A and B are shown apart, each in its own frame.
Chain A
Amino acid sequence: GQQVMQIPQYQHVQEGEDFTTYCNSSTTLSNIQWYKQRPGGHPVFLIQLVKSGEVKKQKRLTFQFGEAKKNSSLHITATQTTDVGTYFCAGPRQNFVFGPGTRLSVLP
């Protein structure tokens, strides 16, 4: 079945540094979604990518979908303490598979 991997598992950054998490699928994805889960909270939808090579931006967050539609990345520029949490990628809804997540901690 579909497997979604994420690296790194953990990332500790100093406030102001950049952060990137990578998501890799064993199969081609029709779309990919990203979620953020704050400590003690529930996952919150960030974005969905559908097209090959697609790049979307949300303020300091940049999302990319690979040309082969098997990988994706989330890049945060100049992290802030409010960025703390776990970032999950997730495959299409039919066989909805969440990646293991990347836990980001930001040191002030």
Chain B
Amino acid sequence: SAVISQKPSRDICQRGTSLTIQCQVDSQVTMMFWYRQQPGQSLTLIATANQGSEATYESGFVIDKFPISRPNLTFSTLTVSNMSPEDSSIYLCSVTAGGTEAFFGQGTRLTVV
């Protein structure tokens, strides 16, 4: 299993600013995943964060908007840049530890005003 600490748990931000979300795992994992979940919707994969290389982004998501860092095997950050109200959502980090089961952080509830 894996325990994930994600912060902040929530934030209210002004449009045009940026927010960095941190994700700390209690064990070393190869890949970390960042998801967005809009209210009442399913999870959409933003990108896969690989240690030692650039993140791999899914269609519709770009590095300039969602830069990701992965400095080591237990930590990653996702930045939501130049925010607009459309970025209001829950952002979740996730890992698979050992098997294929996915573990999720508690999520960051972002409101952009």
Binding site for B on A (CB under 8 A): 31, 33, 35, 41-45, 48, 88, 90, 92-93, 96-101, 103
The smallest C-beta distance from B101 to any residue of chain A, in angstroms, reads 4
- Contact, CB under 8 Å: B101 / A42: no
A-B contact pairs, 25 of them (CB 8 A): A31-B100, A33-B100, A35-B102, A41-B106, A42-B92, A42-B104, A42-B106, A43-B104, A44-B104, A45-B103, A48-B99, A48-B100, A48-B101, A90-B102, A92-B100, A93-B100, A96-B45, A96-B102, A98-B42, A98-B43, A98-B44, A99-B42, A100-B42, A101-B42, A103-B40
**How many of chain B's residues have a CB under 8 angstroms from any CB in A?**
18
Q: Which residues of A contact B53 (CB under 8 A)?
A: none
State A100–B43 Cα separation when bound (angstroms). Answer: 8
Q: Which residues of A contact B102 (CB under 8 A)?
A: 33, 35, 43, 45, 90, 93, 96
When A42-B107, A96-B33 are in contact, do A88 and B43 touch as well, CB less than 8 Å? Answer: yes
The smallest C-beta distance from B6 to any residue of chain A, in angstroms, reads 9
Q: Which residues of B contact A45 (CB under 8 A)?
A: 101-103
